[in-house]
Homo-oligomer: A and B are copies of this chain.
């Protein structure tokens, strides 16, 4: 029996989660929701997803646009075991009562406060904490990127203090109303930034401090990381080389910026999705007891495997190793 999954909010994250879930043998997408009958809604139908209306009052809009829907989110919730909420920031919390009422498990995304769920989740960092839980939050793209990197380093070195600077893409590529066109924005201005706290929701014992900025690009975030630690560079490099969710790249191969990384990804996967942390090999160095690293994070894709693993943990379908292996294989995440 497959776990029956609803995706509430078929947007940037939702459409990727739906496709990833559908690639798994132990789960299936029963339906996805949209609030408007736009091209994303039409694509969902074209791809064979059953479409439901996220905001029941809007069902007419879909009828008028001749986009076939199967019902509303309420109808959908009756048919599933778990809903992956991929609605916009803060909306997940508003949706939660619906899920409770329908008696379904739910996964929330990083745009929600951590207390929306019983536990925050990152597969490498704390898979087991989500076992059997009903409400789980997959941490944000930036937190996922940091949690993975730190988890791998921690596995072979004694991590004392992490410092990370996040240089964030200001909007996703599809966005054409918001942005920062020419400038750099400290976000937040008040330091250190709240991101460190978010990392601690999945790696509570790590001493970490963060700062963050927004810059006018759409492609990827970039993290400058330094970690005070006891450990050897070669062990760390080996551990990073071993972990499928980390992709090591080389400036020597022409990877001079996130623009080149995306150019590469366009050849590899649909939507140029990069589920892995992309770490520059040449950036890795130990200097005065501190590991340096630069990694690029494809914000649109990186949390996708984590959502799949979270479902497995919540339904205890598999242990960490097995779940990650299944997810990786299905998504083409490999060394």
- Chain A interfacial positions (CB closer than 8 Å to B): 15, 36, 38-40, 42-43, 47, 65, 163, 165, 167, 169-171, 173-186, 189-192, 207, 209, 211, 213-222, 224, 226, 249, 251-260, 262-264, 266-267, 270-272, 280, 282-285, 287-288, 290, 292-294, 296
Give A211 to B293 CA distance when docked, in angstroms: 10
Top 4 A-B pairs ranked by shortest CB distance? Answer: A179-B179, A38-B254, A183-B259, A185-B257
Q: List 22 A-B contacts (CB under 8 A).
A: A167-B167, A167-B184, A176-B183, A177-B178, A178-B178, A178-B179, A179-B179, A183-B257, A183-B262, A184-B221, A184-B258, A185-B258, A186-B222, A186-B280, A186-B283, A189-B282, A190-B251, A191-B283, A192-B287, A211-B226, A215-B216, A216-B216
Give A171 to B179 CA distance when docked, in angstroms: 10
Copies assembled: 4
Give A319 to B222 CA distance when docked, in angstroms: 44
Given the interface pairs A192-B287, A260-B176, the reply to whether A218 lies near B182 with Cβ below 8 Å is yes
Partner of A287 from B209, B220, B267 at Cβ < 8 Å:
B209
- 15 more A-B residue pairs beyond the given contacts A40-B263, A190-B285, A192-B292, with a C-beta to C-beta distance below 8 A: A47-B267, A163-B163, A176-B180, A176-B257, A182-B182, A182-B219, A183-B257, A184-B222, A184-B258, A186-B257, A189-B294, A191-B283, A213-B222, A218-B259, A266-B271
